[in-house]
Structure 1
Amino acid sequence: MRIGELSRRTGVNAHQLRYYGAQGLLEADRGANGYREYDESAVLRVKQIRHLLGAGLSSEDIAYLLPCATGEAPELPGCPDLLAAMRSRLDRLDEQMDKLAQSREALAHYIGEAARTSADTYPPFDGTAHEAVSA
């Protein structure tokens, strides 16, 4: 099948499918006309990629995991190398979530402080105060 048909069957646009190919996640043969030709297994492979991307894995992580994946969900065997890769990604996600929580807390604090301050004591927040200081 050509890329348009794969796109229609998976709901993934052709640009993304080309990207998956460039990342080594999706293989295609080239027809005599130069068009990409995908076999039936590409539909399952794209669904696997989408699920793994949804889990926060990078294309590099997915390239490592895909050869072991089975089924659409996909299912991954519990071998030590795969578990280590997924745990490492989970650790990175936890770190990002901690940083986001800290940023959220700081921003909420600033909002609370600003809300308690009388708006009458400050110039309007329309960029003109910054221009006056810059001049």
Structure 2
Amino acid sequence: MMASEKEIFSLTGPTFLTSIDWNNSHHRRSVAASLVQGVYTMERDRQQNRPDHQALAPPWWQFFNFKLNQILVDNHDLSYFGAIYEFNSPYPYHSYSGQRPPQYVIAFRGTIKKPGNREQDFKLNLHFMLHNLNNSTRYQIGLESSEQ
């Protein structure tokens, strides 16, 4: 199965952001959206059995000097629903003036309506609508991972 255009960073990612101004809310939003897209693309890489050298997800975080620390995996369907990224700048953290980049970011993907994800994702949506998200396994996994 072919990759969709939205999975390929060089085609749809914010490649114009060659320098991030962490004081600029539009830049921060673009980085955050890219990290979330990285989670979606990791899940597609998993589904498509793309080996590391063919994976499309890494540019979504590497372009912004983040490294992948942990993939959050759903215990029920083994899907990738989130990731913990760490900022990995070539410059010392204290050298940033104004708003500093986040040291860690936890990103969660949204609902995927395709087979293999649909059941668990819609179940999570139901938890959300019933204000019962804290009883979901994904919430527990995310919470435990963030405390480490």
User: Which TM-score applies when normalising by structure 2?
Assistant: 0.23
Which structure has the highest helix share of the two?
1
User: Which TM-score applies when normalising by structure 1?
Assistant: 0.25
Which structure has the highest strand share of the two?
2
